[in-house]
Amino acid sequence: MLQATPKNIHIYLESNPNPNSLKFVVNEMLVPEGMSFDFPNPESAKEAPLAQELFSYPFVNRVFYMSNFITVTKNEEVQWIEVQDTIRNHIKNFLEAGKLILDNASPEEEPSGEDSETVTKIKTILDEYIRPAVEQDGGAITFHSFKEGVVTVTLQGSCSGCPSSTITLKAGIENLFKRMMPEEVQAVEALG
């Protein structure tokens, strides 16, 4: 009789610009490439068993899944040094048990339809220049809309509530768009 080989999960930690978020990087893909799942509160995690379990810790404020990492955002009352091993071990034990991190969950659907040439160019700049840097920091950025010269994006994961996200949005992302699309883009704003 063959026994199932236990998973050997390795997790390393990466800090990011948000001091209240920590990125837990796993040695396997957790969700399909290009998909992300943001759980800003326990109610939003009803189809995400791991996120539900992490919210049982009173210091956990947000959980975000993408590619091969989970970003956890904590409250300011505790320091990461006090709780990071607890979270890492919880994630490791959950994954090594072979449990699914999602139950029938699907990411938010982007509205379908033909994009204008300007919107296509905006999405290309987001995909090629901005998204990789934001993902490196444990977050995600998605296009929401473009109207009257204003690009509106959605920030998720470590970017949500990050003290430096406004600076990054205005000084980094907005300036990049103004340089690359000076005739079309006057401003970049984040939802929420």
Q: What is the pLDDT of residues 1-14, one digit of tens each?
A: 444 456 799 999 99
pLDDT in tens, 115-154: 888 888 988 888 888 887 887 777 788 888 899 999 988 8
Which sign, positive or negative, has the C-alpha torsion 16, 108, 63, 9? Answer: negative
- Whole-prediction pTM value? 0.69
Token readout for 96 is 């090594």
